[in-house]
Structure 1
Amino acid sequence: MTLMAFSEARRPQSAAQGLRQQLRNLPYVAVTEGQRFGGRPQHGEGARTKSVDKASESIAHLERMAERGDLPPVCLLLRCLQHLGSLELGCVGGDALLWMVSPVLEVARRRIQQDSHERFALQAEAESLRQTVEKIAMQVEDQQCLQQRTQDRFEALLKRHEQQLEAFRSEVTALKRQRSDVEVKRRQLDTEALAAERLWKAELQQLEEERWSLEKQLENLEEQMSSLAAPRQRAQDRCVELTEKLELLQPDLQKKETLRQTNLRIEGEIEDLEREIAQLEKRKKRPSRIGMNAKQHKKSTLR
Protein backbone atom coordinates (compact mmCIF):
# COMPACT_ATOMS: atom_id res chain seq x y z
CA MET A 1 0.00 0.00 0.00
CA THR A 2 1.26 3.47 -0.89
CA LEU A 3 0.24 6.49 1.11
CA MET A 4 0.92 10.01 -0.08
CA ALA A 5 1.66 12.68 2.52
CA PHE A 6 1.18 16.36 1.74
CA SER A 7 3.47 18.88 3.41
CA GLU A 8 0.91 21.69 3.26
CA ALA A 9 -1.83 20.22 5.40
CA ARG A 10 -4.01 21.78 7.99
CA ARG A 11 -2.28 19.91 10.84
CA PRO A 12 1.00 21.26 12.23
CA GLN A 13 4.34 20.40 10.67
CA SER A 14 5.46 18.37 13.71
CA ALA A 15 2.32 16.27 13.47
CA ALA A 16 2.99 15.69 9.78
CA GLN A 17 6.58 14.68 10.50
CA GLY A 18 5.43 12.25 13.23
CA LEU A 19 2.84 10.78 10.91
CA ARG A 20 5.45 10.23 8.23
CA GLN A 21 7.70 8.54 10.78
CA GLN A 22 4.86 6.26 11.84
CA LEU A 23 4.05 5.47 8.25
CA ARG A 24 7.71 4.69 7.52
CA ASN A 25 7.80 2.33 10.52
CA LEU A 26 4.94 0.28 9.11
CA PRO A 27 5.93 -2.65 6.89
CA TYR A 28 4.66 -2.75 3.32
CA VAL A 29 3.87 1.00 3.46
CA ALA A 30 5.80 3.47 1.26
CA VAL A 31 5.53 7.19 2.04
CA THR A 32 6.00 9.56 -0.86
CA GLU A 33 5.55 13.27 -1.19
CA GLY A 34 2.22 14.23 -2.65
CA GLN A 35 1.67 16.55 -5.55
CA ARG A 36 1.99 20.19 -4.64
CA PHE A 37 -0.72 22.53 -5.73
CA GLY A 38 -0.51 26.21 -5.83
CA GLY A 39 -2.59 27.79 -3.11
CA ARG A 40 -4.81 26.12 -0.53
CA PRO A 41 -6.21 22.65 -1.04
CA GLN A 42 -9.75 22.36 -2.19
CA HIS A 43 -12.45 21.03 0.15
CA GLY A 44 -15.26 20.21 -2.12
CA GLU A 45 -18.24 18.01 -1.26
CA GLY A 46 -17.39 15.83 -4.19
CA ALA A 47 -14.46 14.32 -2.29
CA ARG A 48 -16.75 12.83 0.32
CA THR A 49 -18.18 9.60 -1.02
CA LYS A 50 -20.14 6.91 0.66
CA SER A 51 -16.99 4.84 1.30
CA VAL A 52 -15.37 7.86 2.96
CA ASP A 53 -18.34 8.15 5.29
CA LYS A 54 -18.01 4.50 6.26
CA ALA A 55 -14.26 4.93 6.76
CA SER A 56 -14.83 8.03 8.85
CA GLU A 57 -17.40 6.25 10.99
CA SER A 58 -15.19 3.19 11.54
CA ILE A 59 -12.07 5.24 12.28
CA ALA A 60 -14.01 7.51 14.65
CA HIS A 61 -15.20 4.43 16.51
CA LEU A 62 -11.64 3.16 16.57
CA GLU A 63 -10.38 6.49 17.88
CA ARG A 64 -13.00 6.60 20.66
CA MET A 65 -12.00 3.12 21.82
CA ALA A 66 -8.34 4.14 21.79
CA GLU A 67 -9.11 7.25 23.85
CA ARG A 68 -10.86 5.07 26.44
CA GLY A 69 -7.72 2.96 26.65
CA ASP A 70 -9.36 -0.09 25.09
CA LEU A 71 -7.60 -2.02 22.40
CA PRO A 72 -9.97 -2.37 19.42
CA PRO A 73 -10.62 -5.80 17.98
CA VAL A 74 -8.55 -6.99 15.06
CA CYS A 75 -11.52 -7.10 12.69
CA LEU A 76 -12.20 -3.38 13.25
CA LEU A 77 -8.52 -2.51 12.80
CA LEU A 78 -8.34 -4.49 9.55
CA ARG A 79 -11.48 -2.80 8.28
CA CYS A 80 -10.00 0.63 9.06
CA LEU A 81 -6.76 -0.28 7.29
CA GLN A 82 -8.77 -1.36 4.25
CA HIS A 83 -10.56 1.97 4.34
CA LEU A 84 -7.20 3.79 4.46
CA GLY A 85 -6.05 1.82 1.44
CA SER A 86 -9.13 2.82 -0.49
CA LEU A 87 -8.84 6.55 0.29
CA GLU A 88 -7.74 8.78 -2.59
CA LEU A 89 -5.50 11.15 -0.69
CA GLY A 90 -3.94 12.48 -3.89
CA CYS A 91 -7.21 13.90 -5.16
CA VAL A 92 -8.46 17.38 -4.61
CA GLY A 93 -9.46 17.73 -0.99
CA GLY A 94 -7.60 14.58 0.01
CA ASP A 95 -5.70 16.44 2.73
CA ALA A 96 -8.93 16.60 4.69
CA LEU A 97 -8.75 12.82 5.10
CA LEU A 98 -5.27 12.72 6.60
CA TRP A 99 -6.65 12.85 10.13
CA MET A 100 -7.84 9.25 9.61
CA VAL A 101 -4.33 7.93 9.16
CA SER A 102 -2.81 8.73 12.56
CA PRO A 103 -5.32 6.99 14.89
CA VAL A 104 -5.41 3.89 12.71
CA LEU A 105 -1.64 3.66 12.57
CA GLU A 106 -1.36 4.34 16.32
CA VAL A 107 -3.80 1.55 17.11
CA ALA A 108 -1.99 -0.68 14.65
CA ARG A 109 1.30 0.15 16.36
CA ARG A 110 -0.16 -0.63 19.77
CA ARG A 111 -1.61 -3.85 18.40
CA ILE A 112 1.74 -4.76 16.87
CA GLN A 113 3.55 -3.97 20.13
CA GLN A 114 1.07 -6.02 22.12
CA ASP A 115 1.34 -8.85 19.63
CA SER A 116 5.12 -8.55 19.85
CA HIS A 117 5.01 -8.72 23.65
CA GLU A 118 2.63 -11.65 23.45
CA ARG A 119 4.88 -13.26 20.86
CA PHE A 120 7.91 -12.83 23.15
CA ALA A 121 5.87 -14.23 26.06
CA LEU A 122 4.73 -17.11 23.90
CA GLN A 123 8.31 -17.70 22.76
CA ALA A 124 9.49 -17.73 26.38
CA GLU A 125 6.64 -20.03 27.32
CA ALA A 126 7.40 -22.18 24.27
CA GLU A 127 11.07 -22.33 25.29
CA SER A 128 10.05 -23.27 28.81
CA LEU A 129 7.68 -25.86 27.43
CA ARG A 130 10.40 -27.14 25.10
CA GLN A 131 12.80 -27.52 28.04
CA THR A 132 10.04 -29.17 30.02
CA VAL A 133 9.31 -31.47 27.10
CA GLU A 134 13.03 -32.31 26.78
CA LYS A 135 13.19 -32.99 30.50
CA ILE A 136 10.07 -35.10 30.34
CA ALA A 137 11.47 -36.87 27.27
CA MET A 138 14.65 -37.67 29.19
CA GLN A 139 12.58 -38.88 32.11
CA VAL A 140 10.45 -40.93 29.74
CA GLU A 141 13.59 -42.38 28.17
CA ASP A 142 15.00 -43.22 31.60
CA GLN A 143 11.66 -44.70 32.56
CA GLN A 144 11.59 -46.70 29.34
CA CYS A 145 15.11 -47.98 30.04
CA LEU A 146 14.09 -48.87 33.58
CA GLN A 147 10.92 -50.48 32.29
CA GLN A 148 12.92 -52.40 29.69
CA ARG A 149 15.35 -53.65 32.34
CA THR A 150 12.44 -54.56 34.57
CA GLN A 151 10.72 -56.31 31.68
CA ASP A 152 13.92 -58.20 30.84
CA ARG A 153 14.27 -59.22 34.47
CA PHE A 154 10.64 -60.29 34.60
CA GLU A 155 11.01 -62.21 31.35
CA ALA A 156 14.08 -64.01 32.72
CA LEU A 157 12.23 -64.71 35.95
CA LEU A 158 9.20 -65.93 34.00
CA LYS A 159 11.41 -68.15 31.86
CA ARG A 160 13.04 -69.60 34.96
CA HIS A 161 9.62 -70.15 36.52
CA GLU A 162 8.42 -71.84 33.36
CA GLN A 163 11.46 -74.13 33.43
CA GLN A 164 10.80 -74.91 37.10
CA LEU A 165 7.15 -75.51 36.27
CA GLU A 166 8.12 -77.87 33.47
CA ALA A 167 10.46 -79.70 35.86
CA PHE A 168 7.68 -79.87 38.44
CA ARG A 169 5.31 -81.24 35.80
CA SER A 170 7.83 -83.92 34.86
CA GLU A 171 8.33 -84.73 38.53
CA VAL A 172 4.56 -84.87 39.06
CA THR A 173 4.24 -87.24 36.10
CA ALA A 174 6.97 -89.45 37.53
CA LEU A 175 5.34 -89.33 40.97
CA LYS A 176 1.97 -90.25 39.47
CA ARG A 177 3.61 -93.19 37.72
CA GLN A 178 5.27 -94.23 40.98
CA ARG A 179 1.97 -93.83 42.82
CA SER A 180 0.28 -96.10 40.29
CA ASP A 181 3.00 -98.70 40.81
CA VAL A 182 2.69 -98.33 44.57
CA GLU A 183 -1.10 -98.69 44.35
CA VAL A 184 -0.68 -101.92 42.39
CA LYS A 185 1.84 -103.22 44.92
CA ARG A 186 -0.40 -102.09 47.79
CA ARG A 187 -3.38 -103.97 46.37
CA GLN A 188 -1.17 -107.02 45.88
CA LEU A 189 0.13 -106.73 49.43
CA ASP A 190 -3.42 -106.25 50.74
CA THR A 191 -4.46 -109.46 48.99
CA GLU A 192 -1.44 -111.30 50.37
CA ALA A 193 -2.02 -109.81 53.82
CA LEU A 194 -5.67 -110.90 53.75
CA ALA A 195 -4.66 -114.43 52.80
CA ALA A 196 -1.94 -114.40 55.48
CA GLU A 197 -4.44 -113.11 58.02
CA ARG A 198 -6.85 -115.91 57.23
CA LEU A 199 -4.03 -118.45 57.52
CA TRP A 200 -2.84 -116.82 60.73
CA LYS A 201 -6.33 -116.99 62.22
CA ALA A 202 -6.51 -120.68 61.36
CA GLU A 203 -3.07 -121.27 62.89
CA LEU A 204 -4.07 -119.21 65.91
CA GLN A 205 -7.14 -121.37 66.39
CA GLN A 206 -4.99 -124.47 66.10
CA LEU A 207 -2.45 -123.06 68.55
CA GLU A 208 -5.25 -122.20 70.97
CA GLU A 209 -6.43 -125.77 70.82
CA GLU A 210 -2.85 -127.02 71.36
CA ARG A 211 -2.45 -124.63 74.27
CA TRP A 212 -5.64 -125.90 75.83
CA SER A 213 -4.38 -129.48 75.38
CA LEU A 214 -0.98 -128.61 76.88
CA GLU A 215 -2.66 -126.94 79.81
CA LYS A 216 -4.61 -130.11 80.45
CA GLN A 217 -1.40 -132.17 80.21
CA LEU A 218 0.33 -129.74 82.55
CA GLU A 219 -2.47 -130.08 85.06
CA ASN A 220 -2.13 -133.87 84.88
CA LEU A 221 1.66 -133.64 85.34
CA GLU A 222 1.22 -131.34 88.29
CA GLU A 223 -1.19 -133.83 89.83
CA GLN A 224 1.35 -136.62 89.24
CA MET A 225 4.15 -134.53 90.77
CA SER A 226 1.98 -133.79 93.79
CA SER A 227 1.22 -137.52 94.11
CA LEU A 228 4.98 -138.37 93.91
CA ALA A 229 6.03 -135.74 96.41
CA ALA A 230 4.83 -137.77 99.46
CA PRO A 231 6.71 -140.99 98.51
CA ARG A 232 9.83 -138.97 97.83
CA GLN A 233 9.59 -137.32 101.20
CA ARG A 234 9.06 -140.66 102.89
CA ALA A 235 12.05 -142.07 101.03
CA GLN A 236 14.21 -139.18 102.12
CA ASP A 237 13.04 -139.59 105.71
CA ARG A 238 13.76 -143.27 105.47
CA CYS A 239 17.24 -142.58 104.14
CA VAL A 240 17.93 -140.22 107.00
CA GLU A 241 16.64 -142.79 109.49
CA LEU A 242 18.79 -145.51 108.01
CA THR A 243 21.79 -143.26 108.00
CA GLU A 244 21.31 -142.62 111.68
CA LYS A 245 20.94 -146.30 112.38
CA LEU A 246 24.06 -146.98 110.33
CA GLU A 247 25.99 -144.60 112.45
CA LEU A 248 24.70 -146.33 115.60
CA LEU A 249 25.56 -149.75 114.24
CA GLN A 250 29.04 -148.80 113.11
CA PRO A 251 30.77 -151.46 115.18
CA ASP A 252 28.77 -154.16 113.49
CA LEU A 253 30.31 -154.45 110.04
CA GLN A 254 27.85 -157.01 108.91
CA LYS A 255 24.96 -154.90 109.80
CA LYS A 256 26.76 -151.94 108.35
CA GLU A 257 27.22 -153.67 105.04
CA THR A 258 23.64 -154.74 105.06
CA LEU A 259 22.54 -151.26 105.83
CA ARG A 260 24.86 -149.92 103.14
CA GLN A 261 23.34 -152.18 100.56
CA THR A 262 19.93 -151.22 101.78
CA ASN A 263 20.94 -147.59 101.54
CA LEU A 264 22.27 -148.10 98.05
CA ARG A 265 19.05 -149.76 97.04
CA ILE A 266 17.04 -146.96 98.55
CA GLU A 267 19.26 -144.37 96.88
CA GLY A 268 18.74 -146.18 93.60
CA GLU A 269 15.03 -145.99 94.17
CA ILE A 270 15.40 -142.32 94.97
CA GLU A 271 17.40 -141.76 91.79
CA ASP A 272 14.77 -143.63 89.81
CA LEU A 273 12.13 -141.44 91.35
CA GLU A 274 14.19 -138.31 90.59
CA ARG A 275 14.69 -139.39 86.97
CA GLU A 276 11.02 -140.07 86.67
CA ILE A 277 10.29 -136.64 88.15
CA ALA A 278 12.83 -135.03 85.77
CA GLN A 279 11.22 -136.79 82.82
CA LEU A 280 7.84 -135.51 83.92
CA GLU A 281 9.24 -131.97 84.18
CA LYS A 282 10.81 -132.24 80.71
CA ARG A 283 7.51 -133.42 79.28
CA LYS A 284 5.87 -130.43 80.93
CA LYS A 285 8.35 -127.92 79.47
CA ARG A 286 8.66 -129.51 75.97
CA PRO A 287 5.97 -128.30 73.46
CA SER A 288 4.11 -130.77 71.41
CA ARG A 289 5.18 -131.70 67.89
CA ILE A 290 2.00 -130.16 66.42
CA GLY A 291 2.71 -126.81 68.10
CA MET A 292 6.31 -126.84 66.85
CA ASN A 293 5.14 -127.59 63.32
CA ALA A 294 2.60 -124.73 63.54
CA LYS A 295 5.26 -122.26 64.72
CA GLN A 296 7.67 -123.27 61.94
CA HIS A 297 4.88 -122.90 59.36
CA LYS A 298 4.02 -119.40 60.68
CA LYS A 299 7.67 -118.27 60.54
CA SER A 300 8.00 -119.46 56.93
CA THR A 301 4.78 -117.62 56.02
CA LEU A 302 5.96 -114.36 57.59
CA ARG A 303 9.26 -114.60 55.73
Structure 2
Amino acid sequence: MIILFCVWSAVASQWNLLMGQAGIFSLAQMAIFTVGGYVTAILGTHLGIAPAWSLLPAGIICALFGLLIGLPCLRLKGAYVALLTLSAHYVVYLLVLADTSGFTGGSYGLYGFGDYGFRALLGPRKEIIGDYYIAIVLFFIMVAVAYFLSRSPLGLAFNALRDSEAYAEARGIGRYKHQLLVFTITSFFIGVAGSFYGTHLKLVDTTSFDFGTIMALLAIMVIGGQRHNWGPMLGCALVIVLNEALRGIPEWRAIVIAFVTIAVLLIWPLGIATFIDQMLSRLRRRRRAHLASASS
Protein backbone atom coordinates (compact mmCIF):
# COMPACT_ATOMS: atom_id res chain seq x y z
CA MET A 1 0.00 0.00 0.00
CA ILE A 2 2.83 2.39 0.85
CA ILE A 3 4.58 1.54 -2.42
CA LEU A 4 1.39 2.33 -4.34
CA PHE A 5 1.01 5.58 -2.40
CA CYS A 6 4.59 6.60 -3.20
CA VAL A 7 4.25 5.81 -6.92
CA TRP A 8 0.90 7.52 -7.49
CA SER A 9 1.75 10.49 -5.27
CA ALA A 10 4.99 11.01 -7.20
CA VAL A 11 3.13 10.85 -10.53
CA ALA A 12 0.37 13.14 -9.24
CA SER A 13 2.92 15.68 -7.93
CA GLN A 14 4.55 15.89 -11.36
CA TRP A 15 1.20 16.01 -13.15
CA ASN A 16 0.07 18.70 -10.72
CA LEU A 17 3.19 20.71 -11.55
CA LEU A 18 2.20 20.52 -15.20
CA MET A 19 -1.53 21.11 -14.84
CA GLY A 20 -1.95 22.97 -11.56
CA GLN A 21 1.17 25.15 -11.65
CA ALA A 22 1.74 25.62 -15.40
CA GLY A 23 -1.92 25.41 -16.43
CA ILE A 24 -1.43 22.76 -19.15
CA PHE A 25 -4.41 20.40 -19.22
CA SER A 26 -2.58 17.39 -20.64
CA LEU A 27 -4.03 13.86 -20.63
CA ALA A 28 -0.97 12.11 -22.09
CA GLN A 29 0.84 11.53 -18.79
CA MET A 30 -0.40 7.97 -18.29
CA ALA A 31 0.83 7.09 -21.79
CA ILE A 32 4.24 8.50 -20.81
CA PHE A 33 4.10 6.56 -17.53
CA THR A 34 3.39 3.32 -19.38
CA VAL A 35 6.09 3.99 -21.98
CA GLY A 36 8.57 4.22 -19.10
CA GLY A 37 7.57 0.73 -18.02
CA TYR A 38 7.76 -0.60 -21.58
CA VAL A 39 11.27 0.83 -22.09
CA THR A 40 12.53 -1.10 -19.06
CA ALA A 41 10.63 -4.24 -20.06
CA ILE A 42 11.88 -4.14 -23.68
CA LEU A 43 15.49 -3.54 -22.63
CA GLY A 44 15.29 -6.38 -20.12
CA THR A 45 13.48 -8.82 -22.40
CA HIS A 46 15.34 -8.28 -25.67
CA LEU A 47 18.74 -6.98 -24.56
CA GLY A 48 19.08 -8.49 -21.08
CA ILE A 49 19.63 -5.11 -19.41
CA ALA A 50 18.70 -5.18 -15.73
CA PRO A 51 15.91 -2.77 -14.63
CA ALA A 52 18.32 -0.97 -12.28
CA TRP A 53 20.36 0.13 -15.32
CA SER A 54 17.34 1.09 -17.40
CA LEU A 55 15.67 3.35 -14.83
CA LEU A 56 17.36 6.56 -16.03
CA PRO A 57 17.29 5.63 -19.76
CA ALA A 58 13.53 5.09 -19.37
CA GLY A 59 13.21 8.60 -17.95
CA ILE A 60 15.31 10.10 -20.76
CA ILE A 61 13.32 8.32 -23.48
CA CYS A 62 10.07 9.45 -21.85
CA ALA A 63 11.40 13.02 -21.71
CA LEU A 64 12.07 12.86 -25.46
CA PHE A 65 8.67 11.28 -26.00
CA GLY A 66 7.05 14.05 -23.96
CA LEU A 67 8.98 16.61 -26.00
CA LEU A 68 7.63 15.10 -29.24
CA ILE A 69 4.06 15.20 -27.90
CA GLY A 70 4.49 18.72 -26.58
CA LEU A 71 5.88 20.20 -29.80
CA PRO A 72 2.52 20.14 -31.63
CA CYS A 73 0.19 20.03 -28.61
CA LEU A 74 1.49 23.13 -26.82
CA ARG A 75 0.98 25.31 -29.87
CA LEU A 76 -2.70 24.96 -28.99
CA LYS A 77 -4.56 26.15 -25.89
CA GLY A 78 -7.19 24.98 -23.44
CA ALA A 79 -9.44 22.10 -24.43
CA TYR A 80 -7.55 21.57 -27.70
CA VAL A 81 -4.45 20.57 -25.71
CA ALA A 82 -6.52 18.04 -23.75
CA LEU A 83 -8.02 16.57 -26.92
CA LEU A 84 -4.72 16.29 -28.76
CA THR A 85 -2.84 14.80 -25.81
CA LEU A 86 -5.68 12.32 -25.24
CA SER A 87 -5.44 11.38 -28.91
CA ALA A 88 -1.68 10.82 -28.49
CA HIS A 89 -2.46 8.61 -25.49
CA TYR A 90 -4.77 6.39 -27.54
CA VAL A 91 -2.42 6.30 -30.54
CA VAL A 92 0.31 4.83 -28.32
CA TYR A 93 -2.21 2.41 -26.80
CA LEU A 94 -3.38 1.16 -30.18
CA LEU A 95 0.18 0.80 -31.50
CA VAL A 96 1.10 -1.37 -28.51
CA LEU A 97 -2.14 -3.36 -28.69
CA ALA A 98 -1.76 -4.05 -32.43
CA ASP A 99 1.84 -5.26 -32.13
CA THR A 100 2.04 -8.92 -33.18
CA SER A 101 5.83 -9.10 -33.51
CA GLY A 102 6.41 -9.78 -29.81
CA PHE A 103 8.43 -6.59 -29.38
CA THR A 104 5.98 -5.09 -26.87
CA GLY A 105 4.01 -8.26 -26.15
CA GLY A 106 0.82 -6.81 -27.63
CA SER A 107 -2.25 -7.32 -25.46
CA TYR A 108 -0.36 -9.84 -23.28
CA GLY A 109 2.39 -7.44 -22.27
CA LEU A 110 5.90 -8.33 -21.15
CA TYR A 111 6.89 -10.10 -17.95
CA GLY A 112 9.92 -11.80 -16.42
CA PHE A 113 12.31 -9.08 -17.58
CA GLY A 114 14.23 -8.92 -14.30
CA ASP A 115 14.23 -7.17 -10.94
CA TYR A 116 16.48 -4.94 -8.86
CA GLY A 117 18.40 -7.88 -7.39
CA PHE A 118 16.60 -7.95 -4.04
CA ARG A 119 15.25 -11.46 -4.62
CA ALA A 120 18.79 -12.87 -4.64
CA LEU A 121 19.93 -10.55 -1.84
CA LEU A 122 16.98 -10.75 0.58
CA GLY A 123 15.04 -13.79 -0.61
CA PRO A 124 11.63 -14.05 -2.33
CA ARG A 125 9.62 -13.13 0.78
CA LYS A 126 11.61 -10.00 1.63
CA GLU A 127 12.17 -8.80 -1.91
CA ILE A 128 9.37 -6.27 -1.52
CA ILE A 129 11.35 -4.51 1.25
CA GLY A 130 13.94 -3.40 -1.31
CA ASP A 131 11.20 -2.11 -3.62
CA TYR A 132 9.69 -0.31 -0.63
CA TYR A 133 12.86 1.71 -0.01
CA ILE A 134 13.32 2.50 -3.70
CA ALA A 135 9.71 3.74 -3.83
CA ILE A 136 10.30 6.02 -0.83
CA VAL A 137 13.50 7.45 -2.34
CA LEU A 138 11.82 8.11 -5.70
CA PHE A 139 8.83 9.65 -3.92
CA PHE A 140 10.95 12.14 -1.97
CA ILE A 141 13.04 13.03 -5.01
CA MET A 142 10.03 13.70 -7.24
CA VAL A 143 8.06 15.59 -4.60
CA ALA A 144 11.13 17.68 -3.74
CA VAL A 145 11.75 18.47 -7.43
CA ALA A 146 8.11 19.52 -7.86
CA TYR A 147 8.27 21.66 -4.70
CA PHE A 148 11.53 23.48 -5.42
CA LEU A 149 10.68 23.91 -9.09
CA SER A 150 7.34 25.50 -8.18
CA ARG A 151 9.14 27.92 -5.81
CA SER A 152 11.91 28.77 -8.28
CA PRO A 153 11.88 31.66 -10.81
CA LEU A 154 10.93 29.04 -13.40
CA GLY A 155 7.90 28.09 -11.30
CA LEU A 156 6.90 31.73 -11.00
CA ALA A 157 7.03 31.94 -14.79
CA PHE A 158 4.74 28.91 -15.03
CA ASN A 159 2.28 30.49 -12.60
CA ALA A 160 2.36 33.79 -14.48
CA LEU A 161 1.55 32.05 -17.76
CA ARG A 162 -1.29 30.18 -16.09
CA ASP A 163 -2.83 33.25 -14.46
CA SER A 164 -2.32 35.86 -17.17
CA GLU A 165 -0.65 34.77 -20.37
CA ALA A 166 -0.77 38.21 -21.98
CA TYR A 167 0.85 39.88 -18.97
CA ALA A 168 3.52 37.16 -18.71
CA GLU A 169 4.44 37.48 -22.37
CA ALA A 170 4.56 41.26 -22.00
CA ARG A 171 7.16 40.71 -19.27
CA GLY A 172 9.28 38.62 -21.64
CA ILE A 173 8.16 35.11 -20.61
CA GLY A 174 7.80 32.90 -23.67
CA ARG A 175 4.74 30.66 -23.33
CA TYR A 176 5.75 27.94 -25.77
CA LYS A 177 9.34 27.62 -24.50
CA HIS A 178 8.43 27.47 -20.80
CA GLN A 179 5.49 25.12 -21.24
CA LEU A 180 7.53 22.79 -23.42
CA LEU A 181 10.25 22.79 -20.75
CA VAL A 182 7.91 21.81 -17.91
CA PHE A 183 6.27 19.19 -20.15
CA THR A 184 9.67 17.60 -20.81
CA ILE A 185 10.84 17.74 -17.17
CA THR A 186 7.68 16.14 -15.80
CA SER A 187 7.75 13.49 -18.55
CA PHE A 188 11.22 12.43 -17.38
CA PHE A 189 10.14 11.85 -13.78
CA ILE A 190 6.82 10.23 -14.73
CA GLY A 191 8.76 7.86 -17.01
CA VAL A 192 11.08 6.93 -14.13
CA ALA A 193 8.04 6.21 -11.95
CA GLY A 194 6.56 4.04 -14.72
CA SER A 195 9.83 2.12 -15.04
CA PHE A 196 9.87 1.37 -11.31
CA TYR A 197 6.18 0.45 -11.22
CA GLY A 198 6.52 -2.06 -14.06
CA THR A 199 9.55 -3.65 -12.41
CA HIS A 200 7.77 -3.82 -9.06
CA LEU A 201 4.78 -5.57 -10.62
CA LYS A 202 7.09 -7.67 -12.85
CA LEU A 203 4.62 -7.01 -15.63
CA VAL A 204 4.03 -4.26 -18.16
CA ASP A 205 0.83 -4.34 -20.21
CA THR A 206 -1.87 -2.09 -21.62
CA THR A 207 -3.95 -1.83 -18.41
CA SER A 208 -2.21 1.43 -17.46
CA PHE A 209 -3.72 3.01 -20.58
CA ASP A 210 -7.19 2.53 -19.11
CA PHE A 211 -9.18 5.77 -19.02
CA GLY A 212 -10.25 4.98 -15.47
CA THR A 213 -6.63 5.34 -14.31
CA ILE A 214 -6.48 8.83 -15.82
CA MET A 215 -9.71 9.76 -14.06
CA ALA A 216 -8.44 8.36 -10.75
CA LEU A 217 -5.30 10.52 -10.92
CA LEU A 218 -7.34 13.57 -11.86
CA ALA A 219 -9.59 12.84 -8.86
CA ILE A 220 -6.50 12.64 -6.65
CA MET A 221 -5.42 16.12 -7.73
CA VAL A 222 -8.92 17.62 -7.50
CA ILE A 223 -9.61 16.17 -4.04
CA GLY A 224 -6.18 17.06 -2.67
CA GLY A 225 -5.96 20.42 -4.33
CA GLN A 226 -4.43 21.59 -7.57
CA ARG A 227 -1.84 24.37 -7.37
CA HIS A 228 -0.89 23.04 -3.94
CA ASN A 229 2.44 21.32 -3.27
CA TRP A 230 1.20 18.66 -0.87
CA GLY A 231 -2.35 18.44 -2.21
CA PRO A 232 -1.61 15.43 -4.48
CA MET A 233 -0.21 13.46 -1.51
CA LEU A 234 -3.31 14.16 0.58
CA GLY A 235 -5.62 13.31 -2.33
CA CYS A 236 -3.71 10.10 -3.05
CA ALA A 237 -3.91 8.99 0.59
CA LEU A 238 -7.68 9.62 0.70
CA VAL A 239 -8.34 7.81 -2.59
CA ILE A 240 -6.24 4.80 -1.55
CA VAL A 241 -8.07 4.60 1.80
CA LEU A 242 -11.43 4.79 0.02
CA ASN A 243 -10.33 2.20 -2.52
CA GLU A 244 -9.22 -0.17 0.25
CA ALA A 245 -12.36 0.41 2.33
CA LEU A 246 -14.53 -0.51 -0.67
CA ARG A 247 -12.56 -3.63 -1.56
CA GLY A 248 -15.53 -5.84 -0.74
CA ILE A 249 -17.82 -3.93 -3.12
CA PRO A 250 -15.61 -3.13 -6.14
CA GLU A 251 -18.56 -2.12 -8.30
CA TRP A 252 -19.12 0.88 -5.99
CA ARG A 253 -15.53 2.13 -5.93
CA ALA A 254 -15.71 4.41 -8.96
CA ILE A 255 -19.15 5.72 -7.94
CA VAL A 256 -18.07 6.63 -4.39
CA ILE A 257 -14.84 8.28 -5.55
CA ALA A 258 -16.83 10.24 -8.16
CA PHE A 259 -19.29 11.46 -5.51
CA VAL A 260 -16.43 12.46 -3.19
CA THR A 261 -14.76 14.36 -6.04
CA ILE A 262 -17.98 16.21 -6.86
CA ALA A 263 -18.57 17.01 -3.18
CA VAL A 264 -15.06 18.44 -2.80
CA LEU A 265 -15.52 20.54 -5.95
CA LEU A 266 -18.78 21.96 -4.58
CA ILE A 267 -17.62 22.55 -0.98
CA TRP A 268 -13.88 23.27 -1.41
CA PRO A 269 -13.26 24.11 -5.10
CA LEU A 270 -9.51 24.51 -4.51
CA GLY A 271 -9.20 21.16 -2.75
CA ILE A 272 -8.89 19.94 0.82
CA ALA A 273 -5.23 21.00 1.20
CA THR A 274 -6.07 24.61 0.32
CA PHE A 275 -9.00 24.54 2.75
CA ILE A 276 -6.72 23.27 5.54
CA ASP A 277 -4.19 26.01 4.74
CA GLN A 278 -6.93 28.65 4.93
CA MET A 279 -8.14 27.32 8.29
CA LEU A 280 -4.60 27.27 9.73
CA SER A 281 -4.03 30.81 8.46
CA ARG A 282 -7.22 32.01 10.19
CA LEU A 283 -6.16 30.33 13.44
CA ARG A 284 -2.73 31.99 13.26
CA ARG A 285 -4.31 35.41 12.66
CA ARG A 286 -6.67 34.95 15.60
CA ARG A 287 -3.79 33.87 17.81
CA ARG A 288 -1.70 36.88 16.82
CA ALA A 289 -4.69 39.19 17.44
CA HIS A 290 -5.29 37.57 20.84
CA LEU A 291 -1.62 37.94 21.82
CA ALA A 292 -1.62 41.57 20.66
CA SER A 293 -4.73 42.39 22.70
CA ALA A 294 -3.34 40.56 25.75
CA SER A 295 -0.01 42.44 25.59
CA SER A 296 -1.78 45.79 25.28
Give the alignment's TM-score, normalised by structure 2: 0.18
The structure in which a higher percent of residues are helix is 1
Give the alignment's TM-score, normalised by structure 1: 0.18
Pick the structure with greater CA Rg: 1
Q: Which has the higher contact order (CA 8 A, sep 6+)?
A: 2
